[in-house]
A and B are shown apart, each in its own frame.
Chain A
Amino acid sequence: MSRAALQALTAALVCAALVGAVITAGPPSALLSAARAAAAAGLCLVGALGLGAPIAAGRGAALTLGLGLLGLLGVLALAAGLPPGLALLGGAGLGLAIGASKLRTLTQAPAAGAIAALTLCLVAAPTALAPPTDTDALYQHLGLGARMLHEGALVGGPLSPDGSRPLLLIGLWAGLLQLGGPAGAALTHLGVAAAVLLQISVLGERAAGRTGALLGPALFGLSWTVLHEAPVVGNNLPVALALTAAADAARAGRAWRCGLLLGLALSFKYTAALGVPLVLLSGLRPGGALRALGVAGACLAPWWLRNVIDGLHPLFPYAGWALPDGQALPFQHLEKYGAGRGAADFALLPWRVVFSAERDSFRFLGQLHPAMLPALGLALLGGAGPGQWPRRLGLALGLAGWAAGPQWLRHLLPLLPLLVISALEGLVHIGLASTSPGGPRWPARLWVGLALVGAPQNLWPALSAHAGRAAAALDPAAAAALRAEQPAAAATAWANAHLEGNAVVGLVRSWDLLGIERRSRLGSVEDHTPLRVLLLRAPDDPFAPLRAAGVTHLLVGPPAFLRAGYPFLSAADYKAMYDAPEVILEEALLREATLLFEAEGARVYRLDLPRPGRAIPGRE
């Protein structure tokens, strides 16, 4: 048997085993669930590498392209009413068949990077295998996929605004949800995080020799934000992978490939825009940069077009919502986040972001390792060759863009690998590292000291959190207890147990799209809650659009907004934007809904028939 035939046979066997596991999985044991998740993640990652390998030579580019293609297959399958899991299975199987011969090359990396990646996977695996609790994973990354699986179609529009964002990764997560459950998606994401570390190690070695191969992954991987995000399904680390690969393609002068990777990064998440200046200034000529921009725009155009066809702003929901009285509700109030917006606040930002960030509050919502502060200095101000200043300008623009946004550290993740590589280059240019084996070693030792300084704030909280999830990863009772800690968990469980199978649940002030096992509408977090729009647009009959959309029940979470969170709003504005909708909601619930369940501040209602004289819009 030839080698290619053997590989194809192996791929087929893996696919068959996975299909068998999916079909026979009743109430599986934790071990079987973990094995199923690992098989799905392994198949997805290796299949994606194989799919991308014929198009791009580098690992990061191949994996990004492969993941993008698998996501696209998932989106197309959902649009056609087909199971995205099947599309993923087919795509990954094809990737194994056509790209298997290149896998060995693609998986080679410096030893330091490989050890760092393996360590990350081992340390963070318990969190990946435990039930997801991250808010963004529940309402968006996994939640949207789950909603689409219940719906059997793509979702979007005013009642599911998060579905009107670019959905490339959501298509991928939906397929993984079907094949390997939430843990399958989480392990895949962890694999992507490991690939980012490997990528940094490879690029770090290129920039600063062996010191760079070790220092790069360490600089990036020892921040709490990175360790925390690695096993949590999200889009920041896939964007980091895509941007790093795009910058590498730009350095090599490959405009088309760079544009494609940029387009994928932006289709993963719009915050990839922070890295666009840096990527375009990384070695492309002006014509090439324009070409890359055009390709990236073409990748995004279908998402914009979809929104326009739906009668929405191309950038919905980020463009916010208009109200009849000429007022508007923004997607989010940037002043609510970070550490202030005055000139002094921006000047102090680099210091604050490292030394006074808070992991559990809107003050940066994360934590960076102290070593990132000198890294930032080196990246922006360290010595540089003639061709490097444009890139530093690009990096500065990206950082400024981040500072102008909500200043969440997880939004900085896409830029961090490029920042680390720039810092390593700066280190070389000031003579503290060398690409040759005989370079100075003390910078690496200095970093070890810094790592020890940063450990109490970064390493230990992340490690102990991951270790704390081990029980939930292995014991179904502990997993159930963890799920029960979620807001509105009791109401969600009651709805899953008691509502009709064809019920359509409107999620009001609640966001567990993953947990609700029914078709659902609404459901979002923070300020971008579409229900407020409905309430303010038609206070006398706010549930009419929900009835028209087939909503039969409402799951109402506890009040979500506190005045203290909006000190920048006047009392009148806060009352109009936040208090008024609450009053309208409670009134409407008393008038037009029947309470079925209440626990821990969360309630389940059945929507009553409309009051006499009121027709349901859109229905005869």
Chain B
Amino acid sequence: MPAPNRTPGTRPAGAVARLGTGGRSGSSVGLRMWVRMCCIGGALCTSGEGAAARLSRGRSTPLYALHARCAEPRLPALAGPWAVGCGAEGAVDRALPLAGGQLVPLPVALPQPCLGPGTLWDPSVADGLIRLGAGGATRLASPRRGPQAGPCALDGEATLSQSVGGLELSTLGSGSRTPISAAPVGWEPVGLAANWAAWVERLGGAARLHLRGPRGAAAPFRPPPGARHVISAGGALAWVEPGAVARWRPGEPEPTRWPAKTGFSSGLGFDGLILCWEERGAGDVDIACTDGLRIDGPGHQQAPSRWGPWLLYREGERPTLWSETGGTR
């Protein structure tokens, strides 16, 4: 099926990307990209709202190379400026550079990797650390951690993994591990930002988000019951709460919250700054982001994964990439 045209003035029958808060920026694409990178690193920007004005309408393109269904339901997803997807066996075995270029086969298929910008790590696989770069995919030495109860999290070189017995903090490529006394629910992802670990436990059926800081420090607030779908990126944590999505950067007294009817299917897309989520509308499911971006239209748009000017989502069952500029894909 050909990709629907999402450029201004040609409203397609399919999903439509809209910007709620911003208008067209006069800055060049390169400049805007540079600003976005800085924002994601947390150095210049402190909120997604400020960056929203830089966005303009973009274009969605189906990614046929990532069409195969992954065994890990949160994938395909973005790993920085790369989209990673699966082969016929359901494990992640390919990466697509968003800025253009050929599909890169991974040196080893990873069943349930956690993603960072240009990095994939699967603790259940020996040497399951892969760096993506201009030279392609490079497999690096990494000790195998054994069977995992759920997805892991990356924060730079720091990792948080869910072994069957509990949580473990470690460093990429290192064999040493620091266990955290916890009973994560499994399947639910964990988050790691600035040495703050976040995970979900389930007590008597109710989900409860736990936050643990360096040396066992407690968070200055208490997440409400039902908080889950945690995700981390760019030194910040985000999650879904009943009726809202929340983002918290360690050091802040309270998380920032946006009203949302979400958490019913997929989790959040989060690049450290901007949050995207599935919104249950009156007739269908659409995607909304904190920067005002909305992907809507007939049918369902689901499973957002955000990184800067790119948003990977599912249009029905088809992985689709929205980019602010129309991209090169």
B73 is contacted by which of A498, A591, A593, A598 (Cβ under 8 Å)? A598
Query: Which residues of chain B have C-beta atoms less than 8 A from A590's C-beta?
Result: 264-265, 280, 285, 300
Q: Is the CB of B187 closer than 8 A to any CB of chain A?
A: yes
**Are B205 and A499 in contact (CB-based, < 8 A)?**
yes
Kindly list chain B residues whose C-beta atoms are within 8 Å of the C-beta of A321: none
Assembly CA distance A500 to B108 (angstroms)? 39
Tell me the bound Cα distance from A494 to B205 in angstroms. Answer: 11
Q: Assess whether A595 is in contact with B186, with CB atoms less than 8 Å apart.
A: no
CA distance A504 to B179 in the complex (A): 35
Given A498-B202, A600-B71, A595 contacting B265 (CB threshold 8 A): yes
Is A594 a contact partner of B263 (Cβ separation < 8 A)?
Answer: yes
- By the criterion of a CB under 8 Å from any partner CB, how many residues of chain B are at the interface? 15
B219: Cβ under 8 A from any A Cβ: no
Give the CA-CA distance A500 to B263 in the complex, in Å: 19
Question: Does any Cβ of B come within 8 Å of A599's Cβ?
Answer: yes
> What is the CA–CA distance of A172 and B186 in the complex, to the nearest angstrom?
38
Chain A 584-615 interface mask (CB, 8 Å, partner B; 1/0): 00000011011101111000000010000000
B266 surroundings in chain A (CB, below 8 A) = 595
Among B71, B185, B205, B285, find the residue whose CB has the most chain A CB atoms closer than 10 A.
B205
Q: Determine if B30 is an interface residue (Cβ-Cβ < 8 Å).
A: no
C-alpha spacing A370/B205, complex, angstroms: 55
> B216 an interface residue at 8 Å Cβ cutoff?
no
Residues of the A chain whose Cβ atoms lie less than 8 Å from the Cβ of B135: none
Q: Is B26 on the interface with A (CB-CB < 8 A)?
A: no
* Distance to closest chain B CB from A594 (angstroms): 4
Question: How far is it, in angstroms, between the C-alpha of A499 and the C-alpha of B204 when the chains are bound?
Answer: 7
CA distance A402 to B185 in the complex (A): 50
CB distance from A586 to the nearest CB of B (A): 9
- A499 to B, closest residue via Cβ: B205
**Interfacial chain A residues near B205, Cβ < 8 Å:** 498-500, 503
Contact residues of A between 570 and 595, Cβ < 8 Å to B:
590-591, 593-595
- Minimal beta-carbon separation of B88 from chain A (angstroms): 15
Output the least CB separation between B8 and chain A (Å). 29
The A71-90 residues at the B interface (CB cut-off 8 A) are none
CB 8 Å contact bits of B264-287 with A (1 = contact, 0 = none): 111000000000000010000100
A497 to B202: give the CA distance in the assembly, Å: 9
Q: How long is the Cα–Cα vector from A608 to B226 in the complex, in angstroms?
A: 13
Please determine whether B185 and A593 come into contact, CB atoms closer than 8 angstroms. Answer: no
Q: A598: which B residues are within 8 A, CB to CB?
A: 73, 187
Query: In B184-226, which residues have CB < 8 Å from any A CB?
Result: 185-187, 202, 204-205
Residues in A whose Cβ lies below 8 Å from that of B71: 599-600
Q: Shortest CB–CB separation between residue B318 and chain A, in angstroms?
A: 15
Q: How far apart are the CA atoms of A498 and B263 in the complex, in Å?
A: 18
Chain B residue with minimal CB distance to A608?
Answer: B264
Interface hits, B41-93 → A, CB 8 Å: 71, 73
CA of A599 to CA of B90 in the docked complex: distance in angstroms?
A: 12
Complex contacts, A591 vs chain B, CB 8 Å:
280
| Beta-carbon contact of B73 and A494 below 8 Å | no
**Pick the contact of A594 from B186, B204, B264 — CB < 8 Å?**
B264
A residues within 8 A CB of B265?
590, 594-595
Cα A595 to Cα B188 with chains together (Å): 11
Contact present for A500 and B186 (CB under 8 Å): no
Q: Is the CB of A593 within 8 A of B187?
A: no
The residue of chain B having its C-beta at the shortest distance from the C-beta of A490 within the complex is B187
Closest beta carbon of chain A to B211's beta carbon, Å: 20
The one of A500, A597, A608 that contacts B187, using a Cβ cutoff of 8 Å: A597
Residues of A within 8 A of B285 (CB): 590
Produce 1/0 per residue, B159-193, CB < 8 A to A: 00000000000000000000000000111000000
Instruction: Tell me the chain A residues, 232-254 only, with Cβ under 8 Å from chain B.
Output: none
Contacts of A497 in B (CB 8 A): 186
Write out the residue numbers on chain B whose beta carbons fall within 8 Å of the beta carbon of A608.
Answer: 264
496-512 of chain A: CB within 8 A of chain B: 497-501, 503
Alpha-carbon distance A146/B202, docked complex (angstroms): 26
- Nearest A residue (CB) for B264: A594
Nearest B residue to A594 via CB reads B264
Which chain B positions have C-beta within 8 A of A600?
71
- Inter-chain CA distance A411–B280, complex, in Å, is 49
Contacts of B185 in A (CB 8 A): 498
How near does chain B come to A476, taking the closest CB pair, in angstroms?
A: 16
Nearest neighbor of A597 in chain B, beta-carbon distance: B187
Nearest CB in chain A: distance from B227 CB, A: 13
Q: Which residue of B lies closest to A500 (CB)?
A: B205
For B186, list chain A residues within 8 Å (CB): 494, 497
Nearest to B69 among chain A residues (CB) is: A601
| Min CB gap B246→A, angstroms | 17
A591–B285 CA distance with the chains assembled, in angstroms: 8
Nearest residue (CB) in A for B187 is A597
Q: Which residue of A lies closest to B278 (CB)?
A: A590
Q: How far is the CB of A423 from chain B (nearest CB, A)?
A: 50
A369 and B234 alpha carbons, distance in the complex (Å): 67
Q: How many whole Å from B308's CB to the nearest CB in chain A?
A: 27
Known A500-B204, A608-B264; judge A494-B187 contact (CB<8 A). yes
Chain A residue contacts of B204, Cβ below 8 A: 500-501
Instruction: Name the CB-closest residue of A to B285.
Output: A590
Complex: chain B residue closest to A491, CB-CB: B187
Q: What mask results when residues 484 to 527 of chain A are scored 1 for a CB within 8 Å of chain B, else 0?
A: 00000000001001111101000000000000000000000000
Complex-state Cα separation, A503 to B204, whole angstroms: 10
Q: In the complex, A599 Cα to B285 Cα: how many Å?
A: 22
Which chain A residues lie closer than 8 Å to B264 at the CB level? 590, 593-595, 608
Q: Which residues of A contact B202 (CB under 8 A)?
A: 498
Nearest residue (CB) in A for B207 is A596
Chain B residues contacting A501 (CB-CB under 8 Å) are 204
List B contacts of A597 (CB < 8 A): 187
Give the distance to chain B from A107, nearest Cβ to Cβ, in Å.
49
Q: How far is the CA of A150 from the CA of B263 in the complex (A)?
A: 31
Top-6 shortest CB links A-B: A500-B205, A594-B264, A598-B73, A498-B202, A597-B187, A595-B265
Given contacts A498-B185, A498-B202, 11 further A-B contacts (CB under 8 A): A494-B186, A494-B187, A498-B205, A499-B205, A500-B204, A500-B205, A590-B264, A594-B265, A598-B73, A598-B187, A600-B71
A-B contact pairs, 10 of them (CB 8 A): A494-B187, A498-B202, A500-B204, A500-B205, A590-B280, A591-B280, A594-B263, A595-B264, A599-B71, A599-B187
